[in-house]
Structure 1
């Protein structure tokens, strides 16, 4: 299974909502969700601090920033799975 990164931070309510959106889609696209805490890196805080939650594949430059729903997430996962 390929990784799918969820850039987030502990206690982020929106990040919890994002997990609820993406979790049901992971098996269909053969992905495993890896959460990355942006608080562990100044670079990540600068890049994603006002955008989290953010979905990203380590194999593509495309990112999906919040807000996103199930349809938008499925479309994003389809694009990055090709």
Structure 2
């Protein structure tokens, strides 16, 4: 089974981003996923897309949550993905 990839879109001097990163790192202890952090200030395209939304959590290309990131919402998203994968693999 391929690992999911979680991308956290952040920028420097962003307290909400720091909090979100801490939550993501805690989640990585529960769920086996690849973690990538993207600084939106490194790309005009990302800044335009996510400027006022950050932090943004994306799992396998799907935006899961932005702004106030919480443990439960992200964990539920991984749980749903896990269920979907086991249903696909079980058929």
Q: TM-score, normalised by structure 2?
A: 0.74
Query: CA-to-partner distance for each residue in 1:16-43, whole Å, 9 max, x for gaps?
Result: 0101222111132211321101011111
CA distance in 2, matches of 1:34, 1:45: 17
Report the RMSD for the aligned CA atoms in angstroms. 1.8
1:26 is aligned to 28
- TM-score calculated relative to the size of structure 1: 0.81
Segments ≥4 residues shifted beyond 2 Å: 59-63, 76-82
User: Larger helix proportion, structure 1 or 2?
Assistant: 2
Point out where structure 1 has 5 or more consecutive residues left out of the alignment. Answer: none
Query: Aligned pairs, how many?
Result: 81
Asked if 1 retains the 8 angstrom alpha-carbon contact of 2:56 and 2:63, the reply is no
Question: Where do 5+ consecutive residues of structure 2 fail to align?
Answer: 85-91
Pair member with larger Rg: 2
On the 8 A contact 1:60/1:80 being kept in 2, the answer is no
